Structure 1
Amino acid sequence: MTKSIKKIIQNLSGIFIGGLFLYLTLREKPLGPIWKSLENSDYFFILLSFVCLFIIFYLRALRWKLLIEESGKKVSTDKILTSILLGYFVNSFTPKLGEIVRCTSLQKNANVPVSTSMGSVMAERAYDLLVLAGGIITIFFIELDRLQSLIDSTLGGISHVYGYKYIYALAGILLTVLILFLISLKKLKKSKNSLVKKVVGFLQEMFESLRHGLLLKKRTKFILLTISIWLMLVLLNYIYLLCLPATAEYSIQFAVVILFIGGIGWALPSPGGIGTTHFFLLQLFLAFHLDSNAGISFGILSNGLTFVGTLLLGAYGYFRYKIETKIS
């Protein structure tokens, strides 16, 4: 199977997942009150959300620069920001292919090997997943009574239908595949085939970059940047709440809950989190006994503003990329 066919299948599966969750969210819901709520959005906070989104991208660029520098590569913040904007732009249309785009674009405009940048991206994702998992566990621990219905409607359904033994079996299969991969990689190192050598060399460089990223020297600066990114994400979600009259009175604490529970939807392979974030946000509003129409309106507005803001900043990043590649 060629790479292009795999990409098409991956994209179609992502669109299907997003469409399915969007259908589950909007089915049998009156759309009139939802559109009316969206029409009354506060344009000041909409514009403020775009500013906040840019700051988040810039902070991500500063953090990614630290990870790349751990591998001994020097590159300007401007070029890293360009690749970040391009990557998130592509992620708005395809499930997670933006990570490849940001790495390949950085190779072209800053001569950073894809293996190096890819390893640093893996390290970056590992830290973010750690924060996301920690936040989700903490919120479920604090709000267990309220979120029990969400557990029953999502994760609980899996255990009732299939049983936990299937979940353990899946974890065992994944672990076995990882072990077999590492064993195969060790044997492939001895191969004399030029193509195999290139692939093995690429994987070795990538894992070396990942190792450097996980064993940070500038750990304090990296932690501060990570905290700043997640605080800005909380602020962004709070601004989204302020955009709508129906949600403007909700607290910033609720914005924290939205960030981490909604983050489950963003983690699923749907382009731009479309459908998946809407579904989880609706379940969250219902779990907190809030208006379901407000939950749907908020999901549409927050996801839509993130999508539009990413497109605008991605277009700006593409313009920068064209200029940087011509200069270099």
Structure 2
Amino acid sequence: MINNIKSIFKNLSGVIIGAVFLFLTLHEKPLGPVWESLAGADYFFIFLSFLCLFLVFYLRALRWKLLIEEAGETPKSDKVFTSLLLGYFVNSFTPKLGEIIRCTSLQKNSKVPVAVSMGSVMAERAYDLLILGLGILCIFFIELERLQGIIDSTIGGISHIYGYRYIYVLPIFLILFVILFLVSLKRLKKSEKPIIKKVVGFLQSMFESLKQGLLLKKRFKFILLTLLIWMTLVILNYIYLLCLPETSEYSIFFAVVILFIGGLGWALPSPGGIGTTHFFLLQLFLAYQLDANAGISFGILSNGLTFIGTLVLGGYGYFRYWVEMKRA
């Protein structure tokens, strides 16, 4: 019951965050030019973006499989791909619940323990957050004067939801939570209750999988796959730019900036990055003194195509998963 309430609260808070940022993005903006811009989108590049998105998911599946293998499991590539598509499909509607879905579905179709796959997902996220953080730092270092306003706008946007004081309290709260969690886990290890032993065993397996994922043996293959994923994401954002007449002449460097600054929006707990990515992309266009309507159009187009593509591929993943379960 408590877990259900927490899940509902988490999903609801994600929707509220997305709605607030979407309101801040579209408030008092004329939407007529935006719809005209979207109507003139190039269908060839829209189709190309779907192929590119498929490649991103496939590369992510290969990398996830590699991390699972580091923990001693050997699932088939097609089953890992199916579970990953299911996870991203669910993430389109709920903030990060898809990570649980892809791990539980992989347990059903490949007998990979949830604790192991969850640890590998945590390792995957840790590496991606590292690259995202390094990319953001590099871009802000290069373009500090232009992008300083985004920091102020972001803090202002979040303060509409939580208030300024909570922004500064959050890091302290997270540190205290980690300390209390580690102390509690140490005490729980001494318990003789069966249910406590199960929980502790699950957590130990998960953290062992996380450790194996962070202490990579196949480093070269993992680094290669990671570089390919992020390069493909740059190309995907460049294709999105090519879709619209107003943004088709922007450089591929701007696509790199979009990837990392827009990534801030995807990192926030909003379903499918709706609202948060639109907000960051608009601030980015304004920082570069580009047309605000073009920024809104690009945000709607890029987020919309990613959302639709994820739904289509997720539906395909669900069909494959259903067929696999029928055959089992």
Q: Look up the match of 2:189.
A: 189
Q: Look up the match of 2:171.
A: 171
Alignment of 1:232 onto 2:232: yes
Q: 2:15 is matched by which residue type in structure 1?
A: I
Q: 2:181 is matched by which residue type in structure 1?
A: F
Q: 1:197 is matched by which residue type in structure 2?
A: K
Cα shift at 1:59: 0.2
Q: Where in structure 2 are the equivalents of 1:20-169 lying within 5 Å?
A: 20-155=20-155, 162=164, 167=168, 169=169
* Contact 2:21 2:157 (8 Å CA) reproduced: no
Cα shift at 1:182: 1.1
Cα shift at 1:153: 2.0
The 2-side partners of 1:96 and 1:119 are apart by 15
The 2-side partners of 1:280 and 1:40 are apart by 23
State the SS of the aligned residue for 1:154: helix
* Contact 2:24 2:157 (8 Å CA) reproduced: no
| Distance change >3 Å, CA 173–CA 8, structure 1 → 2 | closer
Cα shift at 1:10: 1.3
Cα shift at 1:158: 8.1
State the SS of the aligned residue for 1:72: coil
Unaligned runs of 5+ in 2: none
* Contact 2:109 2:325 (8 Å CA) reproduced: yes
Q: 1:50 is matched by which residue type in structure 2?
A: F
For each residue in 1:219-246, what CA deviation from the matched residue of structure 2 results, as whole angstroms up to 9, or x when unmatched?
Answer: 1100000000000000000000000001
Q: Look up the match of 2:207.
A: 207
Cα shift at 1:152: 2.5
Using the TM superposition, name which of 42-51 and 149-158 deviates more. 149-158
Q: 1:193 is matched by which residue type in structure 2?
A: K
Q: Where in structure 2 are the equivalents of 1:315-326 lying within 5 Å?
A: 315-326=315-326
Using the TM superposition, name which of 25-34 and 174-183 deviates more. 174-183
How many residues align? The count is 325
% of aligned pairs identical? 73
For each residue in 1:25-63, what CA deviation from the matched residue of structure 2 results, as whole angstroms up to 9, or x when unmatched?
Answer: 001111110000000000000000000000000000000
Q: 1:175 is matched by which residue type in structure 2?
A: I
The 2-side partners of 1:146 and 1:45 are apart by 29
Cα shift at 1:130: 0.1
Cα shift at 1:85: 0.4
State the SS of the aligned residue for 1:289: coil
Q: 1:176 is matched by which residue type in structure 2?
A: L
Q: 1:173 is matched by which residue type in structure 2?
A: F
The 2-side partners of 1:21 and 1:239 are apart by 25
Cα shift at 1:24: 0.5
Using the TM superposition, name which of 5-14 and 210-219 deviates more. 5-14
The 2-side partners of 1:246 and 1:125 are apart by 34
Cα shift at 1:149: 1.7
The 2-side partners of 1:42 and 1:109 are apart by 39
Unaligned runs of 5+ in 1: none
State the SS of the aligned residue for 1:75: coil
For each residue in 1:84-118, what CA deviation from the matched residue of structure 2 results, as whole angstroms up to 9, or x when unmatched?
Answer: 10000000000010000000000000000000000
For each residue in 1:118-158, what CA deviation from the matched residue of structure 2 results, as whole angstroms up to 9, or x when unmatched?
Answer: 00000000000000000000000000111122122224888
Q: 1:41 is matched by which residue type in structure 2?
A: A
For each residue in 1:243-287, what CA deviation from the matched residue of structure 2 results, as whole angstroms up to 9, or x when unmatched?
Answer: 000100001000000000000000000000000000000000000
* Contact 2:52 2:232 (8 Å CA) reproduced: yes
Q: 1:317 is matched by which residue type in structure 2?
A: G
Cα shift at 1:170: 3.8
State the SS of the aligned residue for 2:323: helix
The 1-side partners of 2:173 and 2:25 are apart by 32
| Distance change >3 Å, CA 11–CA 119, structure 1 → 2 | same
Cα shift at 1:166: 6.9
* Contact 2:92 2:310 (8 Å CA) reproduced: yes
Alignment of 1:290 onto 2:290: yes
The 1-side partners of 2:64 and 2:242 are apart by 30
Q: Look up the match of 2:313.
A: 313
Q: 2:307 is matched by which residue type in structure 1?
A: F
Q: Look up the match of 2:252.
A: 252
Q: TM-score, normalised by structure 1?
A: 0.96
Cα shift at 1:176: 2.4
* Contact 2:89 2:98 (8 Å CA) reproduced: yes
